[in-house]
Structures are given as structure tokens and as C-alpha cells.
Structure 1
Amino acid sequence: MGLTNLILKILEKERSKYALPFENNVEGFRKVIKTGDVVLVSGQSYISGIIKIVTKSNWSHCFLYMGDGKIIEADSIIYESAEPRKVKNPRVMENPVEKYFPYNIRIKRPEQITEEHLKQVLAEARNYVGKDYDKKNIANFIWKGLGIKKFEFKKSMGSEDKYICSALIAKLFQNVGYPILPDVAIVEDGKRSIKKINYTHIAPGDFDLASSQYWRTIPFQGIGRTKHYTELIWDE
């Protein structure tokens, strides 16, 4: 086992305490979630904490909602017969969305995507199931965040045909021209051109930082619960 793999294996262990400020409104989530939504997750492993620090974000993981309670993600925990099982080789997999109800989550919707492009994203996502997890990419995220290594935004930080959670989803949407974090540059003739950031540079939190014009936050916690503020009873 290489040094990088050994470090990642140690950091995958979950911390005993997890800060879930309040129980997720599962009913509200199910009412608003749509096929093609990207859901951000605040994980509880040690490596999740590091990812949040180096990417300056509250989010360490993300998945693509496929409809009918199913998700596609790059991870190491697979659900079989409703029971979680850690796999020896992390990979792109399908899981039930219930896996993440115990975590802090946020729904981001690709607001302007066309029906045709969304169908393409979903179809391609299914084709990636079984692809290996990109440990090189996640390690380089850490080295980059710590200032140990530098990478040009147009060049890959990962391995060929392997994926971390956010890189997988970024590639799917970039393949249909849907923006996440486009880099706008001024060219010599005064016209603006949009350059793609290589998908291996995209972190889960980037979907939250992305323009609300393209990625809208969908609230669900208050659905069926929230009252008008004048009706709230405060505990003195």
C-alpha cells in the first residue's frame, strides 16, 4: 500500500461526534427534490473535515439525484438490501438517497439546463457506475489546499478514467456545456471568452459558490413546518 493510500485509509475513519443542528425534514426533501439535482453533503470523516478546510467550504461530498429515491455518487459505502457496506475499492456507485438523511445536506438545482441536456447527463452518469475512485485527485486537492503543490486550472489533478464525487458530476455537466465555475478572461480584441476549469479542480463547495443563475439553492427544511414568525412561541 502506497503512502497516499495509507493516509487516505486512516483519514476515512469517522469522528465520534457529528454536528447536525436539527433533524432533516425528510418529507420536505422528498417533496422538492427533482431528477438531476445535485445534493451537497457535510461529511463526518476526518478526511471530510480536511476537504472542508482546504476548499474553504462547509461541504465535503456531493451526489447526483437520479429520481425514484436513487443517487449516483463516487464513494466507498454501498447499500445492499438496505444495509451499508464498505467496499474494498471505492468507486462510482448507485445508492438510496436515505443514506444521507443523517447528514447536513443542501439541494442545488441546475436551473437552466434543457430537458435534452439533462437526459444526456443522467444517461452518462449511469455509464460511469463501476468506475474507480480517484485517490490521486483527492490527495492533490489536499496538497493544493495546503500550498504544497500548484496546478494550472486547465490541467488535470487526477487519474485517467477515475473520479471523485465532485469531479464526476462536474464532468457530466461540462460535457453538455452547463457551467459550474467558468473562468472569464479578456482577450486582445476586447471580447470576453469563457474557459472551462478542468473538472478535477471542482470541489463540492463550488456548486454552492456557483452563480445562482445556473445553480439555485432549493430550501426544504421549513416545508410543512414553518409558521409565520408572529405565530412562533419562544422559550424565554
Structure 2
Amino acid sequence: MTIDKTAIRDAATVIVLRDRYTDPRILMGQRGAKAAFMPNKVVFPGGAVDAGDADIALATRISDFCADRLREDSARDLSHALCVAAIRELWEETGLILGQKGSWSEPPAPDWESFAATGHVPTAEALQFVFRAITPPGRPRRFDARFFLLDADEIATDLDDFSAACEELSHLQWIPLKDVRAFDLPFITEVVLAEIEARVTDRDPPPSVPFFKNYDEASLFMQLYGRIQDR
């Protein structure tokens, strides 16, 4: 079967914010020169949702408030799978764990074996959904990316230990928020950073979420407000 590489894939991105009240810094790394998507750019950790992400159990889930906004303008409820993808990508690309000590009730999927071996289970309550953007047409890869803000205090492991990271991102570092625009950033990253700067000391999730909706027919800027569903 031929895979359409320009099809829009759901994705999750994690913005880890450290020392938000004193000297705010964010965790970023550089993509490789040969990467098909955003080569050489300095980016947040993140990536596409895998088929198995929906089946991974979470010890705690994202707030109903954020889950409701994740469901808005979506053909199906991806709130669980997106949170799992965010935690998995953070682990794979940085070696940092968003989780709590515990045992898995079932043997972990291959993508999660190294995570489980640390003695942790994934948790999502600390994730805040803060931004959504679809890659514009004409790019070699297109993603419907949901951006999650995470306070670094919620990480279970050493914030400066990237030894378990894969090689997808190089030069992993905590960049002072005031200095980040000196780096080679994608346009959408700069837009997201403006949102983060505006609420760096606010620990509550935003009441609405900006959404850059770039389809072939039109490009729109929207706000996702959500509507809490009955459970």
C-alpha cells in the first residue's frame, strides 16, 4: 500500500517550561539537516500520533476542560491518543518522563518498553492544551499539531539528563525565553512562543485555544472554546 506523505497526520508537541517565575526557559532541540520536515530548525519535542497510542493506559488523564477543547473541530475524540503521543514523544526525543512510579497492568507495547523499564506509568493531568495548527499545503509533510504546555516541575526525572533520548533532536537545551528568537525557528513556533510569553506566569489552562486551520480551500484563524460533554 502506498502511503500519501502529504496527508495530514495528527500530532502532539510538548512545550516544557522551566523556572517560569524567575528565569523562564523552554526545552528545544535541533532537527537534522536531512530531515524531510523542517530540517535544521530548532523545535519543541513532538511528533505524529501512532496507531497504538489510543491503547496505552494513562494513570491520570488530562483535565476535562482541556479534553473538551481537544475534541472541538475534530471528527473523532483523539484527546487520549494525543496525550499519549505527547508523553511518548517527550520520552523518545528527550529522555524525560512525564509519569508516576508504578507497574504496568499489561506488558507494554514495544514503543513503551524502555519507558516502562524505568518503573513509571504515564500521566497526563499536568498537560495543558494551548495551541493547534495545521501545516499549510505544499509542504513535504503535513500535521494537525496540538501543542501542550507542561511545567518542568511535573517531570519525574532529572531535567538535565538527556542520556535516554533518541537521535532525532540534537543540541537539546533549556533556552531562556528571552533569547529563543535568536535561534532558527519555524514560523509557527514563533507564533506559539508569543502565546506562551503572554501567559508564562499563569498556571491555569487558557479559556480558549488558538487554531491555525490551513486547508487546501482556505486558511483560517479560529479559537477553540469547547463545550463540556455529558459523561
TM-score interval, smaller chain: under 0.3
**Which structure's residues are more often helix, by fraction?**
1
Higher Cα radius of gyration: 1
TM-score w.r.t. the length of structure 2 is 0.24
If asked which structure has higher relative contact order (CA below 8 Å, sep 6+), I would say 2
TM-score w.r.t. the length of structure 1 is 0.24
**Which structure's residues are more often strand, by fraction?**
2
